[in-house]
Structure 1
Amino acid sequence: MSKTHAKSTAQESLLIEKVVEHDSVSFSKLYDQYLPLICKVWYQFHLTELPLEDWKQEAAVVLYRTSCSYYNHCQSVRFCWYLRQALLNKIRDLYRQQVAKKRIPVENVEPITDLHIDQRLVDAHFRPDDASEFRYIYRQFLQSCSLLERDAFTMINSGHCPEEIAHRLSCSPLSIRSAFERARQKFLRYLYE
């Protein structure tokens, strides 16, 4: 092993140790060091339903968990190989989840605009405080969504088709459908929690 390689391995081990100790600066350095690998895995699989920014967030969690696991158990192999396998496992899991999800045909989706919300509340004979609570939950839900999820959810519920939204937001219709489905699931969780 060359001196340069040994030095870089020692620096990486020190970074990993600090990451395990919850040092955010070390985590940022390690993340930046492996960002090319993170992007490469995404480009290899290129799940159209998973935007690169969402994948980077998922990969950051994988990086942290992998660092902890590696530090505690697996220092016999190189960290980059260990991380690469963990990233591949995660993206395969995400792919399986997306394939397994049942999609709702757009023509079966009913809009949920403010007008529809008010109408449903009146039809259900909600009291004013119930309507106010529902609006609060709806605002919380919108704040929990990513920008793409919020846009897809509100625009589809306003009657726009995924293709039109995709063209407007410069992404694929499949990304819009996926973002809408994620937002719909979040909305249901907020309603029934």
Structure 2
Amino acid sequence: MKKEELSLIREAVNDSEASRKLFEQYRPLVLKVLKPYNLREFSYEDWLQEARIAMIKAVARYDGSSGSQFGPYYRMVLQSHLRSILRRHFAHKRRIDATAIPFKASALESLQERLAIRSVEDGLLMRVEFFQLLENLSPLEYEAFETAVLHPFDTPTSNRFRRALERSRAKIIKFTRED
């Protein structure tokens, strides 16, 4: 990490101008992370304000002495903060959590059942997290997953494709078990 950036991060703890500069520096990251989030009661400025709050938290807790990068750390803090906002927003509307489903042979069936059972609010949160899961698949894994879902009888038989499909299934299984 550059000394100038570390200095700016340390200054941002107590200096609003340094905090503003740091936020502007990471604005592209903020916009990318905020893209999938949308609530009727939240305007674009509200989301940016929440991103600033997450920046304050990240700056206060960040310790750059170990050589870690601030960008990935801030991204993690921001995503966690946004998920907390969604959970709080939907907490008063949340019904009994009916997500406990025995694991079935097909991860896709389990995922479809979970999506069908969840309330509308939980479905929105699940959808945002599912799109993040899809973004984490490699291009080949994504292609294999998409082909298996859209054309289940036309799946290629190459070893490379089967391995990619297995990796994507493993990630989906891990996703369906997390909560």
TM value normalised by structure 2: 0.47
Greater percentage in helix: 1
Q: Which has the larger radius of gyration?
A: 1
Higher relative contact order (CA 8 A, sep 6+): 1
